């Protein structure tokens, strides 16, 4: 379009374009075909549905050269030729008119200028029945739309056209034309064909499902991602519903294209189903193999009984391993420091034998399955008892006959069956009944044993404690008698031990009296030895009830031995 035509369009624009704002650029649409563009030449619209297409227009401003050679003054055009100034003096952008319609032809009436006019082609014909259109920001069924040409030379502005169909329209292809105002509605060189393809509705049908699990093998407590998609025809419901059919575990959601499966804490084979929510008969089952969790060691605990032992003594060590999932409870033992020997390097219970003390022995038990899990215990070993020398027992026989001569006191041991006595030491008895008896270290020591009663329990520490026992006798006028303590607590005998230790034992026996009464006798031994040497043993007798008698033996220090004694019953001759 030449400059004069542009100017004419500017001056005449209030009269054309159905009340559009002044058109200050007409070359933007009319310079060449393609100035009016569609986002797609076709739009598919389902029966009873809608489709959209974008309409684009290129801006073409009036150049300064055209303004300089204009025959008239362009008072309403900005110097750059891209905008206009309204009656209020404000700068505005041009609104370009666009139309949509069908092609038709018409022949103008003959005139003095053309007595035989030719038919003209127009593109704003009636929209076919069953179709409706709507421009953005325009009322429905309005065939004219508007595009605001903002920006500078060559910028693209656009609007949107919506095409709708009714449910009664016949499926097929319908041709519409989109044209612009500047180029003329009847100019075939400046319109764009838009084909509307009306498609018949496709019946809704769900035809299949695909699903997967990633990964398919996990460890108990771990997760797997479950994904599924449906195939079908028409506008079908694509919702997938998930459920755990067997094997336990849980899902992060019950519906969705993908969910997370969390396995239980134990081994299992889980079946997870993905099914169409609209048609549950369409489904796929997924299998996830859940392996057992690996065994873990959580800790090792070690105890020692006792924790303090004499020189050369022993202690029982016990290890307890804790863990999960069928763990291996085995341990290996080692002496960290302090010396000594272990009865074994494996097993949950071992015996530690100490060297000569004093010492602190640290022993470690480590898990065989996880050596980083271990525990230690320390056993204190006392210093060895000093080798005792001879001791003395002093006393007075209160019922001693001063006229007697040749009397003596002795300490004697018996053999295993008590049929023979061995004199360890003897001393004369003075006329006033006093005596001083030397107590030597026995040449023979035996392990501590208990042979009384029908049922016995004992705890001897250390286990290899060695002892010798002796009873006191007094002899005069060729008669041997037992020497008893003249006190409420009876001195039963003396015992020698080779080291510090203790004895806690109990024996029980029963017998039946002629009248049928069952009598019970319980003998208790409660000894504590601070070091090697001689210790007096006392006997107390108590009656717990009419049929039970308790004989309790307790030890005490030699320094606390009785000082008063009496002659007792004669010793029976073997």
pTM: 0.38
Domains of the chain: 3-199 (2.60.40.1510), 205-291 (2.60.40.10), 297-381 (2.60.40.10), 391-570 (no CATH)
Query: What pLDDT is attached to residue 452?
Result: 60
Of 456, 450, 530, 452, the residue nearest 497 (C-alpha): 530
Q: What is the mean pLDDT of each run of 10 residues along the chain (574 residues)?
A: 35 31 34 62 90 87 70 64 82 84 88 87 88 91 86 85 90 90 52 90 90 96 96 92 96 97 94 96 97 93 94 93 92 95 96 91 96 96 71 89 78 68 89 91 85 77 90 88 81 90 91 92 92 92 92 92 88 69
Query: What pLDDT is attached to residue 59?
Result: 78
d(CA 415, CA 514): 33
Of 280, 281, 259, the residue nearest 272 (C-alpha): 259
d(CA 381, CA 338): 9
Q: Which residues of 419-429 are buried (b: 16+ CB within 10 A; e: fewer)?
A: eebeebbebeb
* Backbone phi, psi, residue 453, to 5°: 90, 170
Reading phi first (left if > 0) and then psi (alpha if -120 to 50, else beta), residue 533 is in: left
């Amino acid at each position: 379009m030449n400059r004069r035509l542009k100017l004419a369009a500017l001056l005449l624009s209030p009269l054309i374009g159905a009340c559009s704002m002044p058109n200050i650029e007409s070359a933007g649409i009319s310079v060449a075909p393609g100035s009016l563009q569609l986002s797609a030449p076709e739009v598919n619209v389902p029966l009873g549905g809608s489709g959209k297409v974008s309409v684009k227009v290129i801006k073409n401003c009036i150049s300064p050269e055209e303004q300089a050679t204009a025959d008239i003054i362009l008072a309403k055009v900005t110097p750059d030729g891209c905008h206009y100034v309204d009656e209020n003096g404000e700068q505005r952008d041009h609104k370009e008119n666009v139309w949509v319609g069908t092609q038709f032809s018409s022949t103008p009436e003959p005139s003095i200028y053309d007595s035989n006019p030719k038919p003209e082609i127009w593109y704003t014909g009636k929209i076919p029945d069953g179709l409706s259109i709507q421009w953005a920001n325009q009322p429905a069924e309005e065939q004219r739309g508007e595009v605001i040409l903002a920006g500078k030379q060559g910028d693209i502005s656009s609007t949107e056209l919506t095409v709708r169909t009714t449910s009664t329209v016949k499926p097929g292809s319908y041709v519409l034309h989109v044209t612009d105002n500047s180029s003329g509605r009847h100019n075939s060189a400046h319109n764009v064909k838009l084909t509307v393809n009306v498609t018949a509705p496709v019946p809704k049908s769900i035809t299949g499902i695909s699903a997967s699990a990633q990964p398919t093998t996990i460890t108990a407590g771990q997760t797997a991602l479950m994904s599924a998609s449906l195939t079908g025809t028409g506008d079908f419901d694509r919702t997938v519903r998930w459920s755990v059919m067997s094997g336990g575990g849980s899902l992060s959601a019950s519906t969705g294209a993908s969910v997370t499966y969390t396995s239980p804490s134990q081994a299992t084979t889980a079946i997870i189903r993905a099914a169409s929510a609209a048609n549950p008969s369409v489904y796929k089952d997924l299998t996830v193999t859940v392996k057992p969790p690996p065994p873990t060691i959580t800790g090792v605990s070690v105890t020692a009984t006792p924790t303090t032992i004499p020189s050369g003594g022993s202690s029982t060590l016990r290890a307890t391993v804790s863990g999960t999932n069928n763990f291996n409870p085995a341990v290996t033992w080692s002496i960290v420091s302090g010396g000594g020997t272990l009865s074994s390097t494996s097993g949950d219970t071992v015996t530690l034998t100490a060297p000569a003390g004093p010492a602190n022995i640290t022993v470690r038990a480590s898990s065989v399955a996880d050596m980083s899990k271990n525990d230690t215990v320390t056993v204190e070993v006392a210093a060895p008892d000093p080798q005792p020398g001879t001791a003395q027992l002093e006393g007075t026989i209160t019922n001693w006959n001063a006229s007697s001569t040749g009397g003596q006191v002795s300490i004697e041991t018996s053999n295993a069956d008590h049929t023979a006595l061995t004199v360890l030491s003897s001393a004369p008895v003075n006329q006033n009944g006093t005596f001083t008896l030397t107590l030597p270290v026995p040449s023979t020591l035996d392990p501590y044993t208990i042979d009384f009663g029908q049922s016995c329990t004992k705890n001897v520490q250390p286990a290899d404690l060695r002892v010798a026992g002796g009873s006191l006798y007094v002899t005069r006028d060729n008669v041997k008698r037992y020497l008893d303590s003249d006190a409420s607590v009876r001195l039963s005998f003396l015992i020698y031990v080779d080291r510090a230790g203790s004895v806690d034992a109990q024996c029980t026996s029963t017998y039946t009296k002629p009248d049928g009464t069952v009598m019970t006798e319980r003998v208790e031994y409660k000894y504590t030895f601070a070091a090697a040497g001689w210790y007096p043993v006392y006997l107390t007798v108590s009656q717990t009830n009419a049929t039970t008698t308790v004989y309790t033996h307790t030890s005490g220090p030699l320094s606390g031995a009785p000082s008063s004694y009496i002659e007792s019953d004669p010793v029976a001759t073997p």
